[in-house]
Amino acid sequence: MHRRQLAQLDPKISVSILFVVGMFMSIMDGTIVNVALPTLQRQLNAPGTSIDAVVIGYLVSLAVVIPVSGWLGDRWGTKRVFLIALAIFTLASALCGAAQNLPMLVGFRILQGIGGGALTPVGTTILYRTFPPAQRVQVSRILIIPTVLAPATGPVLGGWLVDQFSWHWVFYVNVPIGIAACLFGIFTLPEHREEKAGRFDMQGFLLGGLGLAFLMYALSEGPSIGWTSWVIIGSAVVGLLMLCAFVVVERRAQEPMIDLSLLSDRLFRSSNLISIFASAGFLGVLFIAPLFLQNGQGASALTSGLTTFPEAVGVVLSTQIVARLYSSVGPRRLMAFGLAGVAIMMACLSLLQRDTSLWFMRALMFLIGAGMAYVFLPIQITAFATISSTATGRASAFYSAQRQVGSALGVAILSSVLGIVGPTYLSANGSVQPNLVAYHAAFLTAALLSLIGAGIALLGISDRDAAVTMQQRARKSSTGNLPESASSAEASS
């Protein structure tokens, strides 16, 4: 495709492509490295649990950048910030692959997190400024793909790359994709900046970014180091105190980095709460299930990845049904009953034994994914339904931050349940055996988290508030091929 043809490409197409690519790379990078950690530890001669820094460094730097990403996009332009973030992420991926020792790799992973931290919130901002509320149901069928496929694809692709090539390719795989996406975005991505982005909120950045980083560290390392460790307790306390101070400072600031008044919007507030519990339960299961398969049933890493992968297929297929039901049923009942169904399937995971057929688990994972589609698509639409175009940048930064916390919270809670009950026990003959009761307890805990999300959806979501996103595409407006409701929404924004 020539440069002139790229420049004339419909912005909705180019934004969709770049959003999917950027979000997929950022999310997948959080899981693809996990399967390479044992190999990295051996080849880089990393002592003890020091190899965990490869994962923690990425998560912490990701958390620091997310709060400031909304302001950066408003101030410097969403196109410029997104492409710079994508370039940093791509360059850091190449540097990670070329790293010769552990300190180098951790440093480059931190740089990679800085780029990845801005990709999702700024990409979301571009997305919701490009598509009016009435069109988001249709586009969400495609845009939900990276959210679902990336976490499931990461372990499978990572295991294959490590087995067939080397751990270096776990990082190199991002480079050609990132370069192509950058070049495509330069010629096709529309630019947008807010005239009144405000001054940089240094206090908000330090308190919000560092507070979130300390909390993410505590949640990520607590299960392995121990919740009674002074390092974890100190990190959690410091993080929570800084976030409390962040709330006080931001409520008083004339130009806050994250506008906490957005939480006065009932639909936005409830959507974020549901997202926290839904993400905690779902991603917690994606973390525990491979451990159960490998430790409890003796499956290989690749087999465990292929056994959990059907959840992604379930989401993709079910999304097509949810998109058709959304306008007539409404987000409230879709999310509430979807999460209730997911909770039942997660509870059924507690029935698994050492000799249970893998196909039974694959069926449950498929149904969990199918049920989560009733949450992912509506919540992606309703969260920003009543948010103005001006506030979208900072709203997307807040939304991305809570998703990171929700994901880490789910892994931390389920890992703690696993540790408290005890993942192993000594048999009568003195051999160490997996304690399946611990895994069952973890699955039941995930089911409880999903039920809490269902209750919030039932009590906190109003279909009337989300009415603008439920309008049918019945007529074409006089201004073009957009539906009348979409045209009016664009005009008002």
103-123 confidence digits (pLDDT tens): 888 889 889 988 888 888 888
Q: Which of 154, 184, 200 is the last residue of a domain?
A: 200
**Same structural domain for residues 33 and 100?**
yes
- Specify the pTM: 0.76
Tens digits of per-residue pLDDT, 18-46? 888 888 887 787 777 766 766 777 788 77
H-type alpha helices, 33-173: 37-43, 53-76, 78-97, 102-130, 136-143, 145-164, 169-172
Residues 6+ apart with CB under 8 A from 105: 40, 44, 54, 96, 99
Q: Which of 42-51, 240-249, 336-345 has the highest mean pLDDT?
A: 336-345
Beta strand 432-434 pairing with 424-426 = antiparallel
Residues 6+ apart with CB under 8 A from 285: 346, 349, 368, 414, 443, 446
Residues 6+ apart with CB under 8 A from 145: 20, 24, 316
Residue 67, domain CATH: 1.20.1250.20
**Same structural domain for residues 237 and 381?**
no
Tens digits of per-residue pLDDT, 436-483? 898 999 999 999 999 999 999 999 888 888 777 776 543 443 334 433
Nearest CA among 327, 21, 305 for reference residue 145: 21
Q: Which of 256, 274, 301 is the last residue of a domain?
A: 256
CB-based contact 445:437 (threshold 8 Å)? no
**Same structural domain for residues 156 and 180?**
yes
CB-based contact 410:283 (threshold 8 Å)? yes
SS3 77: coil
**If you compute the radius of gyration of the chain from its CA atoms, what whole number of angstroms results?**
22
Helical packing angle, 174-188 and 11-32, nearest 10°: 160
Instruction: Tell whether the model's pLDDT for residue 488 goes beyond 50.
Output: no
Q: Which of 200, 225, 246 is the last residue of a domain?
A: 200
- Range of lowest pLDDT (62-66, 193-197, 241-245, 332-336): 193-197
CB-based contact 290:119 (threshold 8 Å)? no
**Same structural domain for residues 235 and 194?**
no
Instruction: Tell whether the model's pLDDT for residue 398 goes beyond 60.
Output: yes
Nearest CA among 442, 445, 449 for reference residue 375: 449
**Same structural domain for residues 121 and 89?**
yes
Q: What local confidence, expressed as pLDDT, does residue 462 receive?
A: 84
- Domain range spanning residue 193? 1-200
**Same structural domain for residues 287 and 337?**
yes
Instruction: Tell whether the model's pLDDT for residue 70 goes beyond 60.
Output: yes
d(CA 32, CA 156) in angstroms, rounded, equals: 8
Burial status of residue 427 (CB atoms within 10 A of its CB: 0-12, 13-18, 19 or more):
exposed
Q: Which amino acid is at 60?
A: V
**Same structural domain for residues 280 and 166?**
no
d(CA 484, CA 137) in angstroms, rounded, equals: 15
Q: What are phi and psi of 465, to 5 degrees?
A: -65, -35
Nearest CA among 456, 429, 230 for reference residue 340: 456
**Same structural domain for residues 194 and 231?**
no
Total number of domains constituting the chain: 3
The whole-number average pLDDT for the span 182-187 is 88
**Same structural domain for residues 263 and 408?**
yes
**Same structural domain for residues 208 and 194?**
no
The whole-number average pLDDT for the span 391-402 is 77
Other CB atoms within a 10 A radius of the CB of residue 134 amount to 24
Nearest CA among 230, 260, 264, 262 for reference residue 245: 260
- pLDDT-derived band at 134, boundaries 50, 70, 90: low
d(CA 339, CA 180) in angstroms, rounded, equals: 38
**Same structural domain for residues 245 and 145?**
no
| More confidently predicted of 144 and 303 | 303
**Same structural domain for residues 249 and 291?**
no
Q: Which amino acid is at 375?
A: V
Instruction: Tell whether the model's pLDDT for residue 172 goes beyond 70.
Output: yes
Q: Which two tokens stand for residue 413?
A: 């809670």
DSSP 424: E
The whole-number average pLDDT for the span 326-335 is 88
Tens digits of per-residue pLDDT, 189-232? 877 776 665 677 788 888 888 887 888 788 777 777 778 889 88
Q: Which amino acid is at 459?
A: L
